[in-house]
Amino acid sequence: MDFIRDYADWFYLIGAVLFILTLRGLSGPKTAIAGNRYGMIAMAIAVLTTFFVAENPVVWMIVGAMVLGAIIGIARARTVPMTQMPETVALMHSLVGLAAVLIAVAAIIHNNELAKLDVGLLQENGVNFHEMGKVHLFELFVGCFVGAITFTASVFAYGKLAAKKWAKTISGAWVKPVQALIFITMFAAGIHFFLTGNMTSFWAMTGLALVFGWVWIAPVGGGDMPVVVSLLNSFSGWAAAGIGFTLENNMLIVAGSLVGSSGAILSYIMCKAMNRSIINVLFGGAMGGTAVVVDAGDKAPRNHRSGSADDAGFLMSNADSVVIVPGYGMAQGRAQNAVKELANLLKEQGVTVRFAIHPVAGRMPGHMNVLLAEADVPYEDILEMDEINSDFPATDVVLVIGANDVVNPAAKDDPSSPIYGMPILEAHKARTIMVIKRSMATGYAGLDNDLFYNDKTMMIFGDAKKVVEDMTKAINGNGH
């Protein structure tokens, strides 16, 4: 349509503004739904505008790919359980990286085909290529290798989060030198391609970038995967922005830049919440890290106090204030709706109930917030770490559901602990602590939790959903 072609820049501008409003909306749970709607409208404008401004598009191929993608995406969105949301997000990031690589490859091949028909083609190192500007070559260089790294790194992150056997962590003194060698060789091949347009160098750069993405993330420990997922989100945005320059698509540049910058900011916030630097997270494994493996035989047995759901129900129903700390165990047990029912029952009996969220709880940024929102827990009841920590000393009961490392007092009290200095939810300061876990097994970071052996702590073993439902029954049975 001529109208859309004539005003394409205006449509792209509208879309860009909507994408900015999307990020603003997603900054808070109350406005997140509106933010998502802005994003969907902006993407629809971007797709339709690009479709109509394209020169001689192969309609059946474009529409067919869009329909196939929509079917797969809708099916996945409807069936994915919340426990698999982190690896699903990582997998989506990998597709963005792969798209960037394929676009770069297509642009290079298309350019070389034009060169065969162009009398102005250049001859360097025996390779023909069209007179593509150095700026475009640089954009292809950056977009392709960032996309390739994002693709394989995200695939590994998916495998790690999904506990796939092929996503094995690597370690050893050889890792760092191999990473450096691959990166330097990749970068050198990319520079040679940029300077000469040599296709052999381009393929070498792309292949090495794919290998580097895997080797780069493989040493990272499981406890750092939430930060990795956030950073890969940023990388996917920068890859998209780089390819946007190649395609001369302003909308893609803006959208990619927004995703890239917001992902980088989120990664910084999460690292700050863990008292870690991004360099330590991404290269700590290769450098040997700070992880300590404790042999149970070297330590004296530690005693913990166990209780039942009935005991927990009695304590909570007689409390004035209760703080619930959700963790991955709540997601694994799909207990969010049962937790919401428990909270509502306690509120009906005059108990003040709030939820405390740590920035890196779960397996991805905002994992616990999404779970609680799914159960329609009121936003005003959900407090971040900085908002709730000062209230723990005056709290009667803290109920920890499957969280581990984010409530471990060793982060504050034990200088020898690998997580020492990491800000935590100070649940140990409450008058009574109750912890729901399947067993005394360590958390994702592989560390024992001193909170479990606290004199004020009562351990309740079992599936999170079943235990919470039993607590609710116990409170009802007490006649309160």
361: which residues sit within 8 A by CB, 6+ positions away? 326, 327, 328, 367, 368, 403, 406
Rounded CA gap, 480 and 472, in Å? 11
Q: Determine whether 405 is an active site residue.
A: yes
In terms of Cα–Cα distance, which of 346, 339, 340 is closest to 317? Answer: 346
**Helix-helix angle 134-161:225-247, to 10 degrees:** 150
Rounded CA gap, 218 and 134, in Å? 34
**Helix-helix angle 175-196:199-217, to 10 degrees:** 150
Mean pLDDT by 10 residues, the chain (480 residues): 76 91 83 90 90 82 90 88 80 90 85 60 46 70 88 91 84 89 93 85 94 91 75 88 81 88 85 75 53 47 86 92 92 90 94 91 79 88 92 95 88 83 90 91 74 93 93 78
Where does 173-224 have alpha helices with state H? 175-196, 199-217
Rounded CA gap, 40 and 215, in Å? 35
Rounded CA gap, 426 and 422, in Å? 11
In terms of Cα–Cα distance, which of 400, 290, 410, 404 is closest to 356? Answer: 400
Beta-sheet pairing, 382-384 with 397-401: unpaired
**Helix-helix angle 134-161:175-196, to 10 degrees:** 150
What φ, ψ does residue 211 adopt, rounded to 5°?
A: -70, -45
Q: Which pLDDT value is given to residue 77?
A: 84
Annotated domain spans of the chain: 1-79, 82-283, 296-477
- Tokens 């946007």 correspond to 244
| Six token digits for residue 405 | 């490392």
Where does 85-198 have alpha helices with state H? 85-117, 134-161, 175-196
Rounded CA gap, 444 and 404, in Å? 8
Output the CA torsion 13→18→21→22 (10° steps). -130
Give the active site residue among 224, 405, 448, 450: 405
Q: Are 244 and 251 a contacting pair, CB within 8 Å?
A: yes
CA 137, distance to chain mean position in Å, is: 31
Task: Name residue 435's beta-bridge partners.
Answer: 400, 459
In terms of Cα–Cα distance, which of 439, 402, 223, 395 is closest to 325? Answer: 402
| Six token digits for residue 86 | 């982190």
> pTM for the whole thing?
0.75
- Tokens 């350019």 correspond to 111
Rounded CA gap, 197 and 194, in Å? 6
Fold observed for domain 296-477: Rossmann fold (3.40.50)
